[in-house]
Chains A and B, each alone.
Chain A
Amino acid sequence: MHIPDGFIDAKTAIAAAALSAAGVGLALRQARRHMPRKNVPLMGLAAAFIFAAQMLNFPVGAGTSGHLIGAVLASVLLGPAAAVIVMTAVLSVQCLLFADGGVSALGANIFNMAVMGSIGGYGIYAAVHRFCGGARGRLLAAAFASWCSTVLASICCAGELACSGTVPWGAGFPAMAGVHMVIGLGEALITAMVIAAVDRSGFQTRENDQAVPAGHYGEILTFGPLIALGLALFVSPFASPWPDGLEKVAAMLGFEHKAAAQPVLASPFADYRIPGVTSAPAATAFAGAVGTVVVFLLSLLLARTLSPVSAERRPAAQG
């Protein structure tokens, strides 16, 4: 999802850079105020960790493999503000050292993956974890939030590309969101498995089992206006042709069934990428809604398999 140079025009690049600068500034201010000083080395090491973790391949099949993105993983392990800083460092090094992701698009990439990915993802994680407590609820929340964060970031990315006039929304949104709804499944699985592994090792993360402490809501809420502004700038201009009127919903329902039934097997965007099909974004939005519910249920299943509770029971049952 790293946007290269040349895909973002000047006005979008400046707007995104301003937004991400504000976001990173906020995160840094919170880090300065609320974090012990020893978190600076921890954030540096965590950034190196995320980078190294991104290089481990997970075989998907047919010769392809996926890898972790890590925004939600970082925010669950370190807290949302630290995660923004860590992801910003990762993206900056990728850009400056490896030329992966453009300099002019660095602001956009930071907004999508560091600010939106970590804060948006953590917001969802916190909300879900509030209602489903315990170790199992934590894994469920982390898996679901990783999927949402991946999709959210890709939608922002599509919006920025459309704002720049590079890739039209009608093609970019279904393609980006569709692909990342599949990639997000991998991200959710990896994130939950890693958090389960970290929990198993007995390591104390920032807030292990108890429901989210009150301080974290403050941390997320300060970012709220920023995220809202970003969505308003990059995504909402294109949102107008979304569901309005019954006929459109009906058309969309008819169009939808095939794609929603098998989102994992084939890339669902394949049949959407037709220029001029105005309902494609609407269809994707609907698929997204259905997909979200499906993914939530899948996360529930995943959490049940991975949760330490069942892991503890198993040896007892066997012995």
Chain B
Amino acid sequence: MVLHDLVDHYRRDDSPIHRLPTGLKFTAALAVVAIAIAVPLPEGWFWLGLLTAFLMTAAGVSRLPPSFLARRLLLLEPFVIGAAVLALFRPHGLSVFMSLLARSTLCLLAMILLSATTPFASLLGTIRKIGVPEILVSVLALMYRYLFVMIDEADRMRKARSSRTFKAGRARSWESSAGVIGQLFVRSAGRAERVCGAMRARGWR
């Protein structure tokens, strides 16, 4: 599926950015976000420019294909624009709109860079180190492990359904999608049971 390609393709590539310690990358990304949000505009445009230059350099050094970054950015930009449009309905709306757009795009770029150059497992390690409770980290790790399994399973069920029906009406297709989701939950609960057994057998308590 497209999702695998979007998410996990470049995580294990090699570049100076990939090799940086995860904690450092995480802190840097958070710092970029914090500065991008906190800088007052319009005096702060200089700072935003500086951040852009910094991120562009990092993107260049990371050897991620620009088309990949652009694709990820374009995928998320509609949400940003959709929310920013609401800001137009106020005095000086346009300048607020522009600054929102600039700030959000910068933060997006920072987060995309972080997520594209860091394996999720090491990100989880960092999260655990900064004191996020154990249960939540376990849930996140398990979720990540089975995310793609479930998406594939949902996709298979959808395909199986569509290969057996010619052209479903809207009501039918809602019903069948709901059926798929319900079935998916039942299966995931069954899988959880088996996973739990396997974990216990390996010493997890």
Interface residues of A (CB under 8 A from B): 2-10, 13, 24-25, 28, 31-32, 37-38, 40-49, 51-53, 55-59, 61, 68, 77, 85-86, 88-90, 92-93, 95-100, 102-104, 161, 166-168, 170-172, 175, 189-190, 193-198, 200-201, 203, 273-275
Contacts and interface: CB of A to CB of B under 8 A. Distances in A.
B174 A189 contact: yes
B188 A96 contact: no
B181 to A, nearest CB: 5
B55 interface: no
B185 interface: yes
Question: Top 3 nearest A-B pairs by Cβ distance?
Answer: A44-B142, A197-B182, A5-B107
A98 B7 contact: yes
Contacts, number: 237
B149 A48 contact: yes
A52 B153 contact: yes
A171 B115 contact: no
B145 to A, nearest CB: 8
B182 A102 contact: no
Contact of B108 (A5, A43, A275): A5
Interface in B124-147: 133, 135-136, 138-147
A41 B196 contact: yes
A172 B142 contact: no
Contacts of A194: 178, 181-182, 185
A77 B185 CA distance: 9
Interface string B1-35: 00100110000000000000000000001100110
Contacts of B144: 48, 93, 97
User: A-side binding surface: helix, strand, loop or mixed?
Assistant: helix
Contacts of A193: 174-175, 178-179, 182
B89 A5 contact: no
B58 interface: no
Interface string B179-190: 111111110110
B191 interface: yes
A167 B89 CA distance: 8
A10 B196 contact: no
Nearest to B124: A96
A49 B29 CA distance: 29
A200 B108 CA distance: 42
B196 A42 contact: yes
B195 A52 contact: no
A85 B7 contact: no
B95 to A, nearest CB: 13
Given A2-B79, A52-B184, A197-B183, A99 B111 contact: yes
B37 A6 contact: yes
Contacts of A38: 192-193, 196
